[in-house]
Amino acid sequence: MRPFLRLFIFAVALAATLLPRTVAAGSLVRDPDIEHALTQLAAPVLRAAGLSPSRVGIYVVQDNQMNAFVLDREAIYIHSGMILRLTKASELQAVIAHEAAHIANGHLTRRYANRQSARNAMALGAALSVAAGALSGNAGAAGGIAVGVASSAQRVFFGHSRAEESAADQSGIRYMAAAGVDTAGAVSVMELFAGQEALPTNRQDIYAQSHPLSRDRLRQIKALAVSYGKAAKPDPNADYWFDRAKGKLSAFIRNPKWTFQRMKESPYPDVRAMREAVALHRRNQTAKALAAMDRAQSARPGDPLYDELRAQILMESRNWAAASQTYGRALNRAPQNTLIMAGYARSLIALGGQQRLKQAVSLLETSTARDWRNDLALRDLGQAYAQLGQTGMANMVTAERHAMHGRRKEAKILAQRAADLLPRGSPGWRRAQDVLNAVDN
């Protein structure tokens, strides 16, 4: 069965592979640069937790509320509002360490143990979608029901008990200390939520609702930070990647005027230039944006993630040939990066032609097989198959995409069409059967 079927469990309606000019609230922000930066920050605390940095992804949810959560053992989700509110690397690492503790301590396993319906991915996905639509009053917002949109649904299904929070606090701070991260970061994060328990529920921050807070808990965190804490040495690598992730995220989400006013706050020349490039691109000043990228790449030559951003700017400016060439260079420098792979394929589809389309299909099949959260890559794959005249495969991939969003009726219709068109027993036919089985169950 294709890995995408696991996604139904989480009712995740994924958005773009790359950051669009305006990111839809509640969608996943799939950006290779930001995800790489978060991986760099997470790696030491994940290893301290006994988790593999290559197996646990760190993903950003576009949502202004401060929150972070885990839904399975393979991903930690952090709201953009949380990242933009934090001021230093150790604070973000504290958030990651705490969520990693929920994974390492088996809290998710215990929560799912007696929920038989969790074994039926589509059933739980549909339930969360319905709950989110009802509670938010906007069932069609932002391209579907996305992680982080319905705080009430999250509290019902994924809220943590006070005992779990206490255990995660202790484990998370222990992981930070073992990784050489300043444990005071955990204290400063919790102080952001101080006093939340005294507010009415509808005024509490979503993090306080899904992670119960109390004055006693804050005192415990302060005591743990002191008992485990050491004089942590500054980590230039963590500081750099925190600034880069936050800088790029804010440049795409906030008004360009805000970015121009604050981009000089970054101590790193390449990050300053990158933020300027994004802001200029969002104002459709392509030539100036590319000149800013020249400065970023001069300060950090050979960086494939800056190649990727340049390619995005070219692609969104409809300079498809140059974009494709730049994506190709980025992929040569980072051949395993599935998001760069998908971006390159998108540029090939834009250029058109049988050979390019076939190459795009190959790239997208590889990318989506490795990264089942990439909704836009599935869209592009369906488009490429359709342009090649492979109607059965186009229907099958589009069925997968509808299923990913919990649109069961559309998924079933398209999967059945695909099954009727594809040779019985072929890989595409079996994938169509997977969708039909999931919908029927």
- Band (pLDDT 50/70/90 cuts) for residue 150 is very low
The model's pLDDT over 64-112, given as tens digits with 9 standing for 90+, comes to: 888 898 888 899 999 999 999 999 999 999 999 999 999 998 866 555 4
For the cut 70, the answer to whether the pLDDT of residue 154 exceeds it is: no
Looking at residue 160, its pLDDT comes to: 55
| CA distance readout (Å), 214 to 123, 261, 370 | 35, 37, 41
327 three-state secondary structure: helix
The model's pLDDT over 28-57, given as tens digits with 9 standing for 90+, comes to: 889 999 999 999 999 999 999 999 999 999
Whole-model pTM?
A: 0.83
Looking at residue 407, its pLDDT comes to: 87
The model's pLDDT over 198-226, given as tens digits with 9 standing for 90+, comes to: 445 555 555 555 555 667 788 889 999 99
Q: Share the mean pLDDT of the chain.
A: 82
Q: Which residue has the higher pLDDT, 132 or 256?
A: 256
What is the DSSP code (8-state) at residue 159?
Answer: P
User: Which of 254, 275, 255, 257 lies closest to 265, judged by CA?
Assistant: 275
- Band (pLDDT 50/70/90 cuts) for residue 13 is very low
Please, are residues 99 and 82 in contact by the beta-carbon 8 Å criterion? no
Looking at residue 291, its pLDDT comes to: 98
Could you give the CA distance from residue 437 to residue 441 in angstroms, rounded to a whole number?
Answer: 6
Could you give the CA distance from residue 33 to residue 36 in angstroms, rounded to a whole number?
Answer: 5
- Band (pLDDT 50/70/90 cuts) for residue 140 is very low
